[in-house]
Amino acid sequence: MIRIPNLSAPPDNANLSDIQKAIYNEKVVSPTTYEYDSWDALVFELKMREAIIRAASDLNSGQASFASFKKSRCNEAYWERQENGAFLLKKGVSPSAAVRDIFLNGSAYAFECATAIIIVLYKAVLDVIGDEKFDKLFADLYLYSWNYDRDLKLITDHTGAESFGGDILYFKNPEVNPEWIEWQGENAVKMGPDLYYGHGVGIESGTYIIEKLNKLRVPGATKSAYLMDDVTHPDFAYLHKIATSADPLAVVASSRIKAKAGQVVAKIGSLTGIYNWYA
């Protein structure tokens, strides 16, 4: 269910898009309580989730190739390729223009699925908050893996939480063939019920992705690939503050992430994790 304290009247969801309504309705009927400071904060999250889905669809439709970190490539007019395969924004380049170039000139790019996730998330944020705030907030873009991101204030729930459109999930391949180590798993954007975008795989069902990963296991493997319980998304409350603030650089990450009974919240740098607590 959705809870918005001090809401004086039932919200009018007539202006929500079809994608936003679908996610909203999933949360309304959920046995889990999702609390928001305001209706505007909830609508912002829905807009962000839709933007993530659309960015993933656009990246999938583009010409960017899949490649391991070792073989990654980028448009050197916007990015400096690092030894680890990451892309660092060149000095003097507009962050918004550099992100858009990946979608406009995809043939100049090749990257791993983890980098694709970061690209999708940045493009979604750009589409929602606009160029001016994006350029101020993300002046030192570094595209590598969402596990290393410093700017999006990512939150990962390790407790087996529900997932919704726009969440980031992971298909793990525990017995991957070392010759195909880049397929040890697939980072994926949830596009809808049992529909996921994974760079190098496309937009497919969970069954299809698992079957593909299983073809890349060591000979004689007995452990199937599987969808992990971890659910990752940006700190939507933080990004909402960015969107509504006159000075995005003055905004701090959300501090209202509360652990439920039997859980604990831990922060490591800019990443937040929610874990089950076992005594």
Whether the CB-CB separation of 23 and 166 falls below 8 Å is answered with yes
Q: What is the pLDDT of residue 279?
A: 41
Of 114-123, 135-144, 215-224, 250-259, least confident by mean pLDDT is 250-259
Tell me the pLDDT tens digit for each residue of 62-72: 999 999 999 99
Tokens standing for 273?
A: 């994790």
Residue 232 has pLDDT above 60, yes or no: yes
What average pLDDT does the structure give for the chain? 90
Helical segments of 74-214, H only? 95-104, 113-129, 131-137, 206-214
Q: How confident is residue 99, by pLDDT bands cut at 50, 70 and 90? A: very high
pTM for this predicted structure: 0.92
Q: What is the C-alpha separation between 17 and 39, in angstroms, rounded?
A: 15
Of 77-81, 198-202, 262-266, least confident by mean pLDDT is 262-266
Task: Identify which of 9-18, 138-147, 200-209 has the greatest average pLDDT.
Answer: 200-209
Tell me the pLDDT tens digit for each residue of 178-230: 999 989 999 999 999 999 999 999 999 999 999 999 999 999 999 999 999 99
Q: What is the pLDDT of residue 265?
A: 65
